[in-house]
Structure 1
Amino acid sequence: MLPGLTDDDRRVLKRYARMCRQLAGYSALNEESGMRYSFKSGGAPEITLVFPSPEAFAGTSLAFRQLHSDDEFASFTRTRGRIMKAVKLLSASEKESARRVVAQWAKARGALMNRMLNTIVCEMAAPPVPPDREVPPFSYANINPQKLILTFNYGDTIHFSEDEEANLSTLLEAEQNACYYKHSVLSAITNLSHLYFGFAVLAESAMADGGGRGAMASGSAAD
């Protein structure tokens, strides 16, 4: 546990963990989704999108925002800040390892906000690209998860912004593009949600009555 956590800190951590457990049960993150390609003899390919209902997607977006937006009371960023405040009160021998663990989670979150997980995996698996050659077209390389999530949230799902509504309309204008971007935004939300779920386990261990310091030292995010 982190003995330096105040009652107010624990209130934030408990709220964060509770929202993570709630979001983890939402149908949009658990039911089958994706894009399906089919070809008919002599015809153009057809793309079918399997996507949550408007109600399910809106509910997921709202719950996700509580974890994702830095402005929310018990977001990932504020939860991390409360934990780091308590980490600074640890002994010198414990402080550095705990600080590194929390920093790894923040770094992983930053990566998933800027690139899709599929893109990251492709870049890691692909051989080095010679300087005289173009980088191959990795999966979802044109997607910035954070920007796409904001476009959907503020162009339609949660709030209405004329600029984001115009951006969203452009993305969804063609049917095939609409399938691609809808699938991408759900994937981006799902990827970040699972990272938040993992950090919730760390937050709960920080509040536990014993054993929490060991968990803080070993509960790193995957590189």
Structure 2
Amino acid sequence: MKPAALIAALAAVVAGVVALFLRVRPHTAVIKGAVVHDPTDDTGVGADGAVHSIQSADIDLPADVFGDLWTPATLERLARTYWSFLSRCTFGLIKVHYREDGRDVILITRPFVLLSFKVPVYEMNADRGIVRWPIDRGLLVAGQGRGKDGYLEIDVRRKGETDAGCQRVNVEVEVSNFYPQIAHAFSKFVYTNTQSRVHVLVTYGFLRRLVSRELEESVTGAYAGPATADETDEPQKARDKAS
């Protein structure tokens, strides 16, 4: 089997695994009074082969909870929760390895690096928080897509107070300017029904998970506060390896 055909077949298997996980996943405790509105999906492949995909949902949070969560540290934990959920919903088939200069999304083990990302960029003000991972390379990236400024991004925006007294935020997961190897080697149809389906399913599950009582702890901890003089890199390396 050719490498591209193998990748497409594996993507189809992973899509089935994710669908199974979302169907049988255990109930997750949610924040009392929180509401996740139905997610939306807008995915398309341009004439040049570039993918632009956005999944988003409005989330209502009690005002007191919202105030505690609207911090740079929480934005970082939100990003970590996305990667953790990706690994969990594929039953560990997909792992995320943290490097000092980026992230690798790996299928089972190296050398099967599906996607490599550069160091994420964080932006936050009173009304909006963004974390963006520039796409670098990987088995899922067509040769023509390297160096094209593609990215994966989580964008959180405040939308104001609801009639029920909650704070509404919109959470959007976007893939932009990504050139999938599967679409290049086969067709848009094959990509849409394999890799794209995985992304949409994972994102929907992630959006619904955001009203769970706890977000994952950040691996890098860039916004968790200054490190003490007694801390070393050893625990960090251990967590990176485990991710």
Q: Same fold (TM over 0.5)?
A: no
Of structures 1 and 2, the one with the larger relative CO (CA 8 A, separation 6+) is 1
Q: Which has the higher helix share?
A: 1
Q: Which has the larger radius of gyration?
A: 1
TM-score, normalising length: structure 2: 0.26
